[in-house]
Structure 1
């Protein structure tokens, strides 16, 4: 199947049927997130992979009561952004870069000096920058899921503070930005399952 066929198949699933997504498919979706492009390649985000029914139920009831797709999802991904960036974070990435690309000595130190400006960014600037990365990688997860015929829905309508508390994110210098349920559509309960996709025509969307 082609990429465009995959994208036409995908929609924002509103009801999921409770079936479990096979682990090999989950692994591919997570790898798509891992391989997605991010600013400077630093991957300043985390993804919580939640399968515990009690935690999913708590998030649904306390933080996202209108997001009923969570009730029947197989896996709930929670994307979170950094709220701080430390010297240790920068050094860890540069050291890893040097190891993978076999860069040592003065050349590696050039990277360390070049990226030292990151440590002068405010916590709000770090969060906003990091949060934008979560949207980029979420898109890759969505496309990967569609290619495997796994349904997904990006969710912004939730109480992030409550989710953060449930998952203990503040202690990790993280704030949640997106919920991303994965599962299989319940065509009997989801009124959007068989409806045509509504999108603008090319002539109305692009400026040439």
Structure 2
């Protein structure tokens, strides 16, 4: 399949085949795709939890509006952002830039100073919303890669972050959950499996300016 055919194949799975599991290689592709996601200024203010634990998955169903995909899926991916964010993250980022690219300080420092002031000038609420926006970029990237790799998925906002944070002990790690993505393989009796995709005409969603 080409990329468009793969995206046509994709849908938000309502029922997973709980007997089919993703391979280590497939999970590794998703982890790498997450890590390669574009983020604002390249700061990567995100963490990905990869859960393959049926006891945990079953417990989390109750905190996911009782959506069974959380339990039925091969793995449950949870995208998290920091509860508090500071200029320390900017310092870490530019240390990494220097190590990877050997960029001199005289090149790094002006941009580093700019980003530091950006972070210091925002409230924690502003920073949370900014970082949460990056999580949606990661989710979109994961959905596309899933489609290309023929991995089924169901993106979810319908869950209770505070309960996920409690069950997964995220607060201790200065993290809070923002998005959930069960991944695996569609069940043969998923009623959505063979339904036609419903989308507006391209002329309604795309404006061309020549």
Q: With the length of structure 2 as denominator, give the TM-score of the two structures.
A: 0.93
Q: Please give the per-residue CA displacement for 1:44-98, whole angstroms capped at 9, x wherever unaligned.
A: 011111111111111112x014311112111100011223222322111110011
Distance 2:70 2:83 in 1: 26
1:8 equivalent in structure 2: 8
By how many angstroms is 1:156 displaced? 0.5
CA contact (8 A) 1:150 1:182 kept: yes
CA contact (8 A) 1:94 1:111 kept: no
CA contact (8 A) 2:73 2:184 kept: yes
Q: How does 1:29-178 map to 2 (within 5 A)?
A: 29-61=30-62, 63-117=63-117, 118-178=119-179
**CA RMSD of the aligned region, Å?**
1.2
Q: Which stretches in structure 2 are left out of the alignment for 5+ residues?
A: none
Q: Determine helix, strand or coil for the equivalent of 2:66.
A: coil
Q: Determine helix, strand or coil for the equivalent of 2:127.
A: helix
Q: Which stretches in structure 1 are left out of the alignment for 5+ residues?
A: none
Distance 1:24 1:125 in 2: 37
By how many angstroms is 1:191 displaced? 0.8
Please list every run of at least 4 consecutive aligned residues from structure 1 whose deviation after the TM superposition is greater than 4 angstroms. none
Q: How does 1:21-36 map to 2 (within 5 A)?
A: 21-36=22-37
Q: Determine helix, strand or coil for the equivalent of 2:72.
A: coil
1:193 equivalent in structure 2: 193
Q: With the length of structure 1 as denominator, give the TM-score of the two structures.
A: 0.94
> How many residues in Structure 1 have an aligned counterpart in Structure 2?
206
